[in-house]
Amino acid sequence: MSLLPSTYIEHIAGYEGQQVTLAGWVYNKTEKGKLIFIQLRDGTGTIQCVVFKKNVSEEAFKAAQSLGQESSCYIDGMVRADPRSPSGYEIDVRDVRPVSITQDYPITPKEHGIEFLMAHRHLWVRSSKQHALLRIRHEVIAAAQEYLNNNGFVRFDTPILTPVAAEGTTNLFATQYFDLGMAYLAQTGQLYVEAGMMSFGKVYCFGPTFRAEKSKTRRHLTEFWMIEPEVAFADQEDNMVLQEHFVSYIVKRVLERRAEDLRTLERDTTALEKIAPPFPRISYDEAIDLINKAAAQGVTVPPEQHPLPPLEWGEDFGAPHETYIASLFEKPVFIVNYPAAVKAFYMQPVADRPEVVHCADLIAPEGYGEIIGGSQRIHDVELLEQRLREHGLNIEDYQWYLDLRRYGSVPHSGFGMGIERCTAWIAGTRHIRETISFPRQLYRIYP
RNA sequence: UCCCCGGUAGCUCAACGGUAGAGCGGCUGACUGUUAAUCAGUAGGUUCCAGGUUCGAAUCCUGGCCGGGGAGCCA
């Protein structure tokens, strides 16, 4: 006989008036003498189960009394509609069969500090908001892959262990690789996904990426997941058109399918409902002007309302600058054509302005920061070699990458979207650490 | 790496130089409509660590450890 329940809580409305067997965990329990209310969760939802002493055996009533928070059990009972129940339905319990009795579950429905919650992340993921958030993350990933799969892309996964730095500038996690020297955990799949692009035309890779940066902010993880599409014969404008449709599709699908989770998180979705192509585009030059005008007027930036620092042309934006630019628009905004000096070596220079490159950062609204970085890649082998030298990189390490330009090179573009930042924006979650099951941060690797 | 803040019961916090406390959670009991129930009782402490000042330190000083918020960097 199967151990599975007869149905799941998300489908309970279809069983009104019928007897069901549910299996799950006790989310909360209230005793009132001869009456016990159990909030049972099974991963698909939560429902109130009412145990009347006169309706069950003495053994079952005692069993119900013994169930502490997060005890696991089967509950048999009749489904009935009842306006007094939060979901509109409740279970009139006939039998309670404990699987594992728990007392002293550490995470109570009261307030807890973040240090405690992070140390109990393995249990915290059961809590309703964390559950909703991770469900939205799942939907973001599913929607992203679905969009690409439906638009002719082939998933082409790239290695995690790599021999050299892809971008050279950021810190990498290193590990000894047998007798072959050091290997590094990939900070991007981009260089490898370009090889796939030359085979399939439209490809994407999706997987974890690693940055050993000592970043200690609400927008950073040392291990995060990135989805990186790459398209042959696409220029940077084609790239941005793809991005705005891609992001809009993801937002739309989360709004359609995870409305209940967004409600659990108390996310105001009015801004999200306006997300549709096209997204505004402003140049790096225009952004600098806007920032300096605002800085001169003493504009301050949330959340701390610090004054916006002025910038000189050629400097990269800080978090306050991105937040300010994003605040001028209701949709995500592309900032295009950054100075070549502040960007990676492989970006294609603009024809009549070689000091800037064909690239765009997509900045999410409401201060959630950069969710996509993308560019048109250099397709000329000599220019690429020159850029590698200018960045102080070892040409020998990049021979395979240069081969992609030696044999049938074509103009091409691509981008990388951070799953966690995108999820944080859509879910309206302040801190990125809650958008991944087990965040890896500067001062935390347990559990 | 830099700046700021914190560490007291399982949890959230109070006590701020003079007997270490409350609420929640646990346990025992009461209650037929609770939603973080309520009520009564009960157990529970190396006040992060090491020095120092003092008649006396959770409290003041020095150093360390561990966290949190932000910056830079990035998705």
Sign of CA dihedral A73, A33, A126, A87: positive
CA A430 / C1′ B45 distance in Å: 35
Instruction: Return the pLDDT at A24.
Output: 95
Nearest residue to B1 (CA, C1')? Answer: A214
| Strand B within 7 A of A447 CB | no
| Strand B within 7 A of A128 CB | no
| Distances in whole angstroms, Cα of residue A210 to Cα of each of A195, A224, A441 | 21, 7, 11
Instruction: Return the pLDDT at A170.
Output: 54
| Strand B within 7 A of A199 CB | no
Residue at A431: amino acid letter: H
Instruction: Return the pLDDT at A307.
Output: 80
Query: Mean pLDDT of residues grouped by 10 in chain A (447 residues)?
Result: 92 94 94 91 93 92 91 95 84 94 86 88 92 96 98 96 65 86 89 96 96 84 94 97 97 96 92 95 94 86 76 88 90 95 92 94 90 96 94 88 97 96 92 92 84
Nearest residue to B30 (CA, C1')? Answer: A33
| Strand B within 7 A of A84 CB | yes
Structure tokens at A371: 């969710």
| Strand B within 7 A of A86 CB | yes
State which residues between 154 and 193 of chain A bring their CB within 7 Å of strand B: 169-170, 188
Q: Which nucleotides of B are covered by protein (CB under 7 A)?
A: 1-2, 10-13, 23-27, 30-38, 66-75
The C-alpha torsion from A14 through A20 and A26 to A29, rounded to 10°, is 90
Name the nt closest to A223 by C-alpha to C1'. Answer: B75
Superfamily covering domain A9-100? Nucleic acid-binding proteins (2.40.50.140)
Burial A418-447 (b: 16+ CB within 10 A, else e): bbbbbbbbbbbbeebbbbbeebbbeeeeee
Instruction: Return the pLDDT at A169.
Output: 45
| Strand B within 7 A of A32 CB | yes
Q: How far apart are CA A423 and CA A435, in angstroms?
A: 6
ipTM of this predicted complex?
0.88
CA A329 / C1′ B72 distance in Å: 26
**A300-301/A349-350 β-pairing:** unpaired
CA A116 / C1′ B16 distance in Å: 25
| Strand B within 7 A of A319 CB | yes
State which residues between 349 and 368 of chain A bring their CB within 7 Å of strand B: 361
Give the largest CA-CA distance in chain A: 85
Instruction: Return the pLDDT at A165.
Output: 57
Q: How far apart are CA A380 and CA A33, in angstroms?
A: 79
| Strand B within 7 A of A305 CB | no
Question: CATH says A121-280+329-435 is which class?
Answer: alpha beta
| Strand B within 7 A of A299 CB | no
CA A55 / C1′ B68 distance in Å: 50
| Strand B within 7 A of A251 CB | no
Structure tokens at A324: 């300010």
Q: In chain A, where are the structural domains located? A: 9-100, 121-280+329-435
CA A214 / C1′ B1 distance in Å: 8
| Strand B within 7 A of A302 CB | no
CA A119 / C1′ B49 distance in Å: 21
CB atoms within 10 A of CB A18: 12
**Residue A284: closest CA among A232, A222, A356, A377:** A356
